[in-house]
Amino acid sequence: MRLYLLRRFFALAAVMAASCMIWQASAHAEQPYSSYWFPKDLLNWSPGTDKDAAFNKSGIPLTTRAAGFQVNPNVTLNPKLAALSSMADHTSGTPSQGSDQFDTYAFQYWQYPDVLVDWAGSSGEGIIVPPSADATDAAHKNGVPILGTIFYPPTAYGGKIDWVNDSLVQNPDGSFPFADKLIEVADYYGFDGWFINQETAGGNSATATKMQQMLKYLQAKKPASMKIMWYDAMVSSGSVSWQGALNASNKMFFQDNGTVSDSMFLDFRWSGSTLSASNATAASLGRNPYDLYAGIDVEANGYNSAPRWSSVFPSGGQAVTSLGLYRPDWAYKSSTGQADFYARENRFWVGPNGDPRRTAPGTSWPGIANYIADKTPVTSLPFVTNFNAGQGHQFAVNGEVLRSADWNNRSLQDVMPTWRWIADSAGTALKPDIDFATAYYGGSSLKVSGDLGPANATQIKLYKTDLPVGADTQLGLTFKLADPSLAASHMKVGLAFADDPNAFVYLEAGDAPGGAWTAKSIPLGAYAGKRIAAIGLSFASDTAINGYAVNIGRLSVSDEAGQPAPALQPSAPAMENEFTGGVTADARLTWTKPAPAAALYEVYRLKPDGTREFLGATPNDAYYVSQIKRIGKEAQTTLQIVGVDSDFRHGEPATVTLNWPAYPKPAADFAVSQRYAAPGQPIDLIDESSETTESVSWDVPGGRVDNSSGHPVVTYDQEGTYTITLTASNSSGEDAHAEQVHVTWAVSGGQSNLALNKTATASSTCAAAEAAKYAFDGNLKTKWCANAGSGPHWVVNDLGADYAITDFALSHAELGGEAVSMNTYDYKIQLSDDKATWRDVVDIRGNTKGRTEHTIDLSEARYVRLWVMKPASTTDNAARIYEFEIDGYAVNPAFLSLNQAATAENVLNLLGSPAAPGLHLDLSKWNLLSGDGKLAVAQAIASGKPAAGYFSSAAIQQAIDQAVAGLDKTAPVTTLTALPSEPDGQNGWYVHPVELRLTASDELSGVATTAYSVDGGASWLTYSGPITLGEDAAARILYRSTDAAGNVEAARESLIRLDATAPAITASVHDGDVFTDDQIIMPQIAVTDTGSGADADNAIITLDGVRLQPGAAVDLSGLTLGTHVLAVEAGDRAGNAGTLTVRFRTTASLDSLHALVERFRANGAIDNGGIANSLLLKLENGSLDSFVNEVSAQKGKHISEEAAACLLRDAAFLARQQ
């Protein structure tokens, strides 16, 4: 046995922090997700029972916005724009407040939509989907109402008419519970209404009538600000028949003796004539035609679509209806990265010229800015933008990077520039862009860059505004020059006023040291009484500056005289958290907003070195923090909740403290580069132990180990099965992990993915781009999809030849970015030699994981089939596999020849021929056999394939050796090894489960079986692997082995004593007890242990952290009123420690106050009997105010300071209860 020791060293850090509240771990902290329901689920929903509800609330009210002047001459103000955008990747699994990744659909062209529908819903997840909180916050900050989606899917996509009927249940009093819930959800979460899309077949005229009644009820009950948009699908007969128009068939869902729906989204099949007729129908109903949105489907092709623009926007006339866009999130979903997304988004909204003034009329896609007026939410002071896009690779606070990891949270998105982009120059204009590499506050800033010189002064228009200017109005600008050698900024800020919005006044930004953030404040009092209509920037230089670049981190307009006080400190901070491995925690934080509330609440983590780390922010009063990493062995981590006002000024923090559990011992783990190898072939051992590991040791019996590569590489010279053990240690303990490797001449070369780019066939495919081959192309962006029929679905890989297969890995829907519910639920993996007869090697039921890995015994096959019985955990019938890896080895040609011609004659010839050395057999026993004996062995070998259907030299060797087993007359020898090798407790006791390993050896026939007994030999169990003793006992273990010749070893014996259970502790004071503070209690503690015995004499008792002697009396008047913690720690003789924590509460009453006065008179704390009688009389009369006045007057005179403080405290408590 050789031991190889590697060490890791960790710096330890101490933490000292003060906090308002300290919280222990609880099992409730987990990622909150945005809601989604089926109708019956919604009817049972309540924010009081939904643990995620508080995190799904929007914290930003809908702001007002103004249209103002327009930069594009083609637009008119009448038509509106509805965007049906999928703001999340899936219906389910959408984090409520962003996540720790950069990628998200952080939409920024809010100036164009008048309403946004958060498109979602599926038959497999839920059909009623409110927008996530961060999407609502972003929309509201920009003045855009946002609607949730109710999507009754077509039956072809899993829709059920029962869901429609469940929504239309009406109570005897005429109410519709479903409608009431829709109002409740929108009100609680703070969004602006619902988009209703009924496309499920199976209804009738009664269904349509009931739907109309429900909509009318909804109109009557909902607040005026809540909007309902109806999708043109169901008609008055109750059937689904898309009209592409407002007409007699569907007008009942729009207007019928009053408003039924506030607007209607017309299906895509409209024409110029149907839109004109729809306009007229709306007018005849007394409705505004612009409440109709002519839908354009851009989901597939985006700006490569070719809508019939002139039907909606006739040349020279007014728009016929408003415009509806279905899935403009195409720009994000189809992009290859952030730069590509921004380019697609800009072309989609602004047109091919990248300038909202210069769209491309007459082309197939001139840009939305060609038709729809841009609006601005910048209509009041203060206006502050940090050009924060709502996502980033870092997070900066006032120029200091306080987070260096990816994040997204659209609640934090600033109002971004109105015009993307207007940059004018006589030469080549400087280029404005959003820069994620540099940020002042948030994750991005505005960067303006290019070569600047006399010939290309550049003016950039950024924001449309409608801001008042007063005598104390200031314009703020924070910027940083990229070139540290520059002093002059070469930049001015431009303002245009409402009386002439095209005429800009430019104000000098001034000098600034290059490479550092500089904040400038420019007074605007000279323009008092005007209204700012636009803000821009200007750049000019008399000399050439190559590579000029400036980042603008903040732009603001505020009224210095009207500055509010800094944000008030939030109160009642609370936290639920849970730990992973003792070194990672997450936290659900809640707090109470003060009045007035802050604009934003930021969450920070105080690090042991005194610095802060930004964890996240929300305008809400609840926030989830994931992945808080323990630093060193810190015992506590303090989190701060900081209110931030609309000028980004910070208030005083509220704090909560996370108490880490005892530093955990490591979890040992390692990977082997291959589980099967030929003799002499190196096997890499990769340590994957937990991060708390401080040192590791390797036990690699039978192998040669080389550490020169930085990790162990083992080589075995002989065939066999070898066990490798890694022990990971730190100051808290150690853990061991073992893996087996099989060394055989049967395999050739290293392990590889045998299936990659091999021929594949399947039961069906969803589309040509989702064929069988895409499950084996090594690309997680492609997939095999099958949905034909009811299944099962299958896909087969032809490896092209026989291979030795050992492992499989499946990447399901989740790894391709699809919903968790779409992961393959029930499936088998099967092998075949001829593609006709299949044998199961993997059978999985109820899978929900995105990636599954399966290890099998070495098995020979050419064909591998995935057989899908249930494609998803829902009713979804489509199988989705993004990658199917089949790992294994090439076969040694000598063994392959044997497998393909497994006859006795073939075996005899092979073992007697020059090819036999290629099998690497020990033929010494073979040579002892007679001709008949050899024939018998050859027939045994040829009769069936041993070792899971695959020949190995070990299996052949075993067949030969069994023929000479009769020569063996000596019993085997068995050895017992315990892990840990010595008791890890006290007094000879183990305190953790003990792993027992039995190893046996036999020189001739070999060991056949090893057995053990735990009941004194009354019964014997076959040993098949390590035995774990986990139950407390003093166990006598008997063990023995039998060899292939039938020789039985005399039983051997070992005694193992295990006590892994801490002693039980009870107390006479119970959790939840309530005492009045006139009482004196004497906690009685009892410690019992049924294993090694209790060590009660060394028990430690504390009250509120203060040591308390056993049997000591506690005068409760000396404690504060409220909750107190009695803690007991005691051990047993084996060294286990048990704890008991009891929380009791002290309170006060008139009776207890009366008793305290009597006690203080008796013990002299009140030295005047007349005063005591007077106080008692006041209590009897209930005159607390008089009582307080007299105690205060006699404090330090006839009443001691301590007694007076106690009496006044209790009186104040009672006064608050009245």
Question: Is 768 a residue whose pLDDT tops 90?
Answer: no
* Mean per-residue pLDDT, 270-291: 98
**Domain regions of the chain by residue span:** 39-370, 383-562, 665-743, 756-848+858-887, 896-963, 973-1058, 1064-1147, 1150-1217
* Mean per-residue pLDDT, 293-307: 96
Confidence band (pLDDT; 50, 70, 90) for 536? very high
Question: Is 26 a residue whose pLDDT tops 70?
Answer: no
The letter for the amino acid at 792 is P
Question: Is 5 a residue whose pLDDT tops 80?
Answer: no
pLDDT score of 17: 28
Question: Is 1058 a residue whose pLDDT tops 80?
Answer: yes
**DSSP designation for 575:** E
pLDDT score of 915: 58
Pick the CATH number of 1064-1147 from 3.10.530.10, 3.40.640.10, 1.10.132.10, 2.60.40.1220: 2.60.40.1220
pLDDT score of 275: 98
Portion of the chain with pLDDT greater than 70, in percent: 94
Given a contact cutoff of 8 angstroms between Cβ atoms, the answer to whether 265 and 232 are in contact is yes
CA end-to-end span of the chain: 78
Give the pLDDT confidence of 87-105 residue by residue, as tens digits.
Answer: 998 888 899 999 999 999 9
Higher pLDDT, 916 or 359: 359
pLDDT score of 945: 52
* Mean per-residue pLDDT, 804-809: 93
Picking from 581, 751, 778, 746, the residue whose alpha carbon sits closest to that of residue 671 is 751
**What's the CA gap between 1210 and 1079, in Å, rounded?**
14
Neighbours of 810 (CB within 10 A): 25
* Mean per-residue pLDDT, 20-42: 70
Confidence band (pLDDT; 50, 70, 90) for 2? very low
* Mean per-residue pLDDT, 203-228: 98
pLDDT score of 150: 98
Confidence band (pLDDT; 50, 70, 90) for 239? very high
pLDDT score of 211: 98
pLDDT score of 142: 98
Give the pLDDT confidence of 1025-1053 residue by residue, as tens digits.
Answer: 999 988 888 889 999 999 888 899 999 99
Span of 688-697, 916-925, 1209-1218 with lowest mean pLDDT:
916-925
pLDDT score of 900: 55
Q: Which helix (H) or strand (E) holds 1095?
A: strand 1094-1103
Which of 553-567, 742-756, 1111-1125 has the highest mean predicted lDDT (pLDDT)?
A: 1111-1125
The letter for the amino acid at 1198 is H
* Mean per-residue pLDDT, 733-746: 92
Higher pLDDT, 860 or 845: 845
Give the pLDDT confidence of 954-990 residue by residue, as tens digits.
Answer: 667 777 776 666 556 789 999 999 999 899 989 999 9
Determine whether domain 973-1058 maps to CATH 2.60.40.10.
yes
Given a contact cutoff of 8 angstroms between Cβ atoms, the answer to whether 389 and 345 are in contact is no
Question: Is 32 a residue whose pLDDT tops 60?
Answer: yes
pLDDT score of 909: 73
Give the pLDDT confidence of 421-456 residue by residue, as tens digits.
Answer: 999 999 999 999 999 999 999 999 999 999 999 999
**What's the CA gap between 550 and 330, in Å, rounded?**
32
Task: Give the bridge partners for 931, in sequence order.
Answer: none
- Whether 665-743 and 973-1058 share one fold: the answer is yes
Q: Which helix (H) or strand (E) holds 1185?
A: helix 1184-1194
The letter for the amino acid at 1156 is L
pLDDT score of 966: 56
**Length reported for the chain:** 1218
Half-sphere exposure of 744 (CA within 13 A, CB side): 26
Q: Between the CA of residue 761 and those of 758, 851, 1093, 1145, what are the distances in Å?
A: 10, 22, 66, 70
Span of 36-40, 469-473, 640-644, 889-893 with lowest mean pLDDT:
889-893
Describe the strand order of the beta sheet including 720-730 as a list of residue ranges. Answer: 3-7, 695-699, 720-730, 733-743, 676-677
pLDDT score of 274: 98
CATH domain 665-743 topology:
Immunoglobulin-like (2.60.40)
Give the pLDDT confidence of 401-421 residue by residue, as tens digits.
Answer: 999 999 999 999 999 999 999
Question: Is 802 a residue whose pLDDT tops 60?
Answer: yes
Question: What does residue 1199 show for φ and ψ, rounded to 5 degrees?
Answer: -125, 130
pLDDT score of 897: 59
Picking from 239, 241, 311, 252, the residue whose alpha carbon sits closest to that of residue 281 is 252
pLDDT score of 916: 65
Give the pLDDT confidence of 461-502 residue by residue, as tens digits.
Answer: 999 999 999 999 999 999 999 998 888 999 999 999 999 999
**DSSP designation for 413:** P
pLDDT score of 90: 85
Given a contact cutoff of 8 angstroms between Cβ atoms, the answer to whether 983 and 1057 are in contact is yes
**What's the CA gap between 31 and 94, in Å, rounded?**
10
Determine whether domain 383-562 maps to CATH 2.60.120.260.
yes
Task: Return mean pLDDT, the chain.
Answer: 91
Question: Is 564 a residue whose pLDDT tops 80?
Answer: no
Give the pLDDT confidence of 318-350 residue by residue, as tens digits.
Answer: 999 999 999 999 999 999 999 999 999 999 999
pLDDT score of 750: 81
Question: Is 1175 a residue whose pLDDT tops 60?
Answer: yes
Query: Class of 39-370 per CATH?
Result: alpha beta
Q: Which two tokens stand for residue 858?
A: 């070495």
pLDDT score of 89: 86
Confidence band (pLDDT; 50, 70, 90) for 18? very low
Q: Between the CA of residue 695 and those of 633, 733, 1055, what are the distances in Å?
A: 16, 11, 31
* Mean per-residue pLDDT, 217-241: 98
Q: Taking CA 922 as the corner, what is the angle to CA 918 and CA 926, rounded to the nearest 5 degrees?
A: 110
Picking from 869, 857, 792, 793, the residue whose alpha carbon sits closest to that of residue 831 is 857
Coil, helix or strand at residue 742: strand
Distance of CA 748 to the CA centre of its chain: 42
CATH domain 756-848+858-887 topology:
Jelly Rolls (2.60.120)
Picking from 1160, 1148, 1166, 1163, the residue whose alpha carbon sits closest to that of residue 1209 is 1148
* Mean per-residue pLDDT, 1199-1203: 92
pLDDT score of 903: 73
Give the pLDDT confidence of 835-846 residue by residue, as tens digits.
Answer: 999 999 999 999
Q: Rounded to two decimals, what is the model's pTM?
A: 0.71
* Mean per-residue pLDDT, 867-874: 92
pLDDT score of 22: 31
Over its C-alpha atoms, the chain yields an Rg (Å, rounded) of 39
pLDDT score of 25: 34
Q: Between the CA of residue 1084 and those of 1070, 1111, 1125, 1132, what are the distances in Å?
A: 11, 6, 15, 19
pLDDT score of 175: 98
Given a contact cutoff of 8 angstroms between Cβ atoms, the answer to whether 716 and 706 are in contact is no
Give the pLDDT confidence of 366-386 residue by residue, as tens digits.
Answer: 999 999 999 999 999 999 999
